[in-house]
Structure 1
Amino acid sequence: MKARYQYRFYPTDQQQQSLARLFGCVRVVWNDALAFCKQSEKLPGYNKLSAMLTQSKKTDERKWLSEVSSVPLQQSLRYLDVAYKNFFNSRNGKILGGKVGVPRFKKKTNSQSAEFTKAGFSVKDREVYLAKIGTIKPVWSRELPSEPSSVTVIKDCANRYFLSFVVEVEPNLTVAKNQSIGVDLGVKTFAVMSNGEKALSPNYSKHDRKIRKLQRKLARQQKDSKRRNRTRVRIAKLHNRISDTRKDFLHKLSTKIVNDNQVIVLEDLNVSGMVRNRRLSRVISLQGWREFRSLCEAKSEKFNRDFRVIDRWQPTSQVCSYCSFRWGKIDLCVRSILCLSCGTEQERDENASRNIEMVGMGHRHDLKRTGSDCKTTPVASCCEPSRIIDVLRR
């Protein structure tokens, strides 16, 4: 299986100028090809776009395209061709999931990237040579597992430079400690596992407040001014701090869960619908639930684990995990529940995580739990105490 290994590097002043020229050429080639595609009645393929690039290098307006390597320019055209194919396949229903939008023009202020294939780079003596750029010394935080097939040079909005290698990795066939685990995702407590463990979410509020303050300042500044550009870079750096903190937390948590369990069960959350809540949308967007699911899925394939996702309509928060008694919907402020059928008091998220594990392993909520001595009653009698306890009540 293929994986990406990313390393940061610090280019010299001369290399920064060469990379800026390369990023500009890649952006111009993409925008010119996209403009031609929009004007054409029939979508041109990669071969026709590549021939147009060769002709444009001979003109006076685009002769400076020959100053950089041709490999990233050709890769830019290939990605544009793939982007249009994905757009039409999504519109025709050939691709499942959300709709893929039409390709858009690239901007200078966004993150820049250029990809080199084997013909345009080489790795030797812990140094990377890029065609018409020079030798780069990245910070090798870990060794490459195999020879890379391609490398992408990335410059983010905060003016940081990275090298991203595509390598082939072998699956890890280690034996897991536990058979299965269910994970219930939340806001304050990011993940509650069915084995009782909890993972608290990092606090992003400090950087988030600074971002909101700087964004108000950015809106009042004149466009294309130096002060506005400095403010934009400050905002980008704060966003990167939040992103790096979240990525580090999600990688460590997903690796621990996948290493210790053979079957990982998650719930299919409707995140796009949940962010419509005005009070919780910003907090939910900062958590990275979808990214966590993608990491668990990818690492499960790497470690030869079984990754499962249950239906979003399963009533995991409405059913007792011990006796399968269903008490119905309850408010989010209620964090502790007392079951009238079996008399068990349990925490809401822990109960949901156990239900997620049972459903993922093939159990059903309409069946009694095996080995349970209590009998499930359809409704509670009027003389019985309340089945819901609010631990936040004072």
Structure 2
Amino acid sequence: MATTHVKRAKYPTFKSRKKSRRSAEYTTSGFRFRDGRLTLAKMDRPLDIVWSRPLPEGTSPSTVTVSQDAAGRWFVSMLCDDRPAMPGAVNDAVGVDAGVTSLVTLSTGEKITNPKHERKDRERLAKAQRALSRKAEGDGSNRAKARLEVGRAHARIADRRRDFLHKLTTRLVRENQTIVIEDLTVRNMLKNRKLARAISDSSWTELRSMLEYKAEWYGREVVTVDRWFPSSKLCSTCGTLRSRMPLNVREWTCACGTAHDRDVNAARNILAAGLAVAACGDGVRPQRNTPGGQSSVKQEVVPPPRPRTAARPRG
């Protein structure tokens, strides 16, 4: 008689309060917000807060979230029902080609250099990680201090990167009605061991996410071109398609006599493909067919998150 083995679930593993992000959420009955001062439940005095910006006029917070990150910093986030002011109407369109040396190259010919925040702080981060690795598990306060230093190094990199991306995406959305980007598979690209670190530092996924929700806020349009569209190998002047285009080729001359910068040419082709789709829904890959007859260009709109006002308490 055959024996049947019953698989049983393992015991649950709970997150450590010391290592994971700690947070608490308060609804309207759990806090009081008066005259720009926030008092949480069971507290006899308001929090000492450094505000990142004032709350929009005529709004009041419906939810307050207090959290602490890995660097030991405390934050207060308030959820309000508000919409940013609409910018003036524009008719410009721009194609965006993502890269490593240049974070983005625009169809206008402008190249925005990648600040490479992780690379600049790599030595500091490695030093903090080495110090943490020398501390044994359960080493008490010494290990906690070393872990805090690693958290601070990561937070410095993330904060600077996020600030740069916010400024860049806000500028692109304010200056253009239509923004055309490529649908990059970042997860697969990270399998390239030589470029994985640089690609992660570029944070293309966060760049795209910011563009999409800010475009929704401001009534702009983001068009996404299929990842297989040969933007780099296609001449933006005569439409000739080259068979190969290795990554080390940064400049090339077409048979029609046009000299191309690889990234600028790609951005112009991305723009032309996106405008064609926005105008009449045409495909942008005449060289190959898509499985199932699906459109080779897709336009996606991600619902924007509700605006939040973040603040950081002193100390």
With the shorter chain as reference, the TM-score category is: 0.7 to 0.9
Instruction: Describe the SS at the equivalent of 1:213.
Output: helix
Q: 2:205 aligns with which of 267, 283, 290?
A: 290
1:144 pairs with 2:144: no
1:348 to 262, 287, 293: 262
Equivalent position to 2:223, from 308, 311, 318: 308
Q: 1:338 to 1:365 in 2, by over 3 A?
A: farther
Q: 1:306-331 deviations in whole A, cap 9, x for unaligned?
A: 11111111111110111111013311
Aligned to 1:118: 28
CA RMSD, Structure 1 to Structure 2 (Å): 2.1
Residue number among 93, 105, 116 corresponding to 2:14 in the alignment: 105
Q: Determine the C-alpha separation between the residues in 1 that align with 2:154 and 2:235.
A: 41
Deviation of 1:365 (Å)? 6.0
Post-superposition shift, 1:118? 1.0
For the 8 Å contact 1:115–1:153, the answer to whether it is kept is yes
Deviation for aligned residue 1:198: 1.7
Q: State the TM-score, normalizing by the size of structure 1.
A: 0.64
The alignment partner of 1:351 has SS state of helix
Take 1:310 and 1:172, find their aligned partners in 2: how far apart are those partners?
29
Distance 2:92 2:62 in 1: 36
Identity of aligned residues (%): 41
Give the Å deviation of 1:270.
0.8
Pair 1:250 & 2:165 matched: yes
Contact 1:150 1:166 in 2 (8 A): yes
- Shift of residue 203 of structure 1? 3.1
- Going from structure 1 to structure 2, the CA distance change for 1:343 and 1:248 (only over 3 Å counts) comes to same
**2: distance between equivalents of 1:323 and 1:104?**
60
3-state DSSP class of the match of 1:299? helix
Give how far 1:170 is off.
2.3
Q: Is the 8 A contact 2:116 2:202 kept in 1?
A: no
**Residue among 136, 151, 156 paired with 1:236:** 151
Go from structure 1 to structure 2 and tell me whether the alpha carbon gap of 1:104 and 1:198 turns closer, same or farther (over 3 Å shift).
Answer: farther
Query: Is residue 216 of structure 1 aligned with residue 130 of structure 2?
Result: yes
More displaced 10-residue stretch of structure 1: 255-264 or 127-136? 127-136
| Counterpart for residue 196 of structure 1 | 109
Contact 1:319–1:328 (CA under 8 A) maintained in structure 2: no
Deviation, structure 1 residue 351: 0.6
Q: How does 1:14-163 map to 2 (within 5 A)?
A: 105-108=14-17, 109-133=19-43, 134-145=45-56, 146-163=59-76
* Unmatched segments (≥5 aa) in structure 1: 1-37, 41-102, 368-394
Q: Which residue of 2 aligns with 1:5?
A: none
| Cα distance in 1, alignment partners of residues 215 and 94 from structure 2 | 13
Structure 2: gaps (5+ residues):
1-8, 278-283, 288-315
Rg bigger for which structure?
A: 1
Contact kept? 1:151, 1:164, Cα under 8 Å: yes
Q: Could you tell me which residue of structure 2 aligns to residue 274 of structure 1?
A: 189
Report the count of equivalent residues. 267
- Distance in 2, matches of 1:122 and 1:355, equals 54
User: Do 2:166 and 2:210's aligned partners in 1 also have CA atoms closer than 8 Å?
Assistant: yes
Instruction: Point out 4+ residue stretches in structure 1 off by more than 3 angstroms.
Output: 363-367
1:330 aligned to which of 239, 245, 252: 245
**Residue of structure 2 in register with 1:259 after alignment:** 174
Deviation at 1:148, TM superposition (A): 1.5
Of residues 94, 98, 110, the one that matches 1:181 is 94
Aligned partners of 2:89, 2:112: CA distance in 1, in Å? Answer: 20
Q: Cα distance, 1:149 vs. partner?
A: 1.4
**1:99-134 deviations in Å (ceiling 9; x for gaps):** xxxx97322222111111111112111110111244
Question: Following the alignment from structure 1 to structure 2, what is the Cα–Cα distance between the partners of residues 366 and 158?
Answer: 51
Shift of the alpha carbon at 1:295?
0.6
Contact 1:171 1:304 in 2 (8 A): no
> Secondary structure of 1:222's partner?
coil
SS at match of 1:153: strand
- Distance, in Å, in 1 between the alignment partners of 2:73 and 2:224 is 36
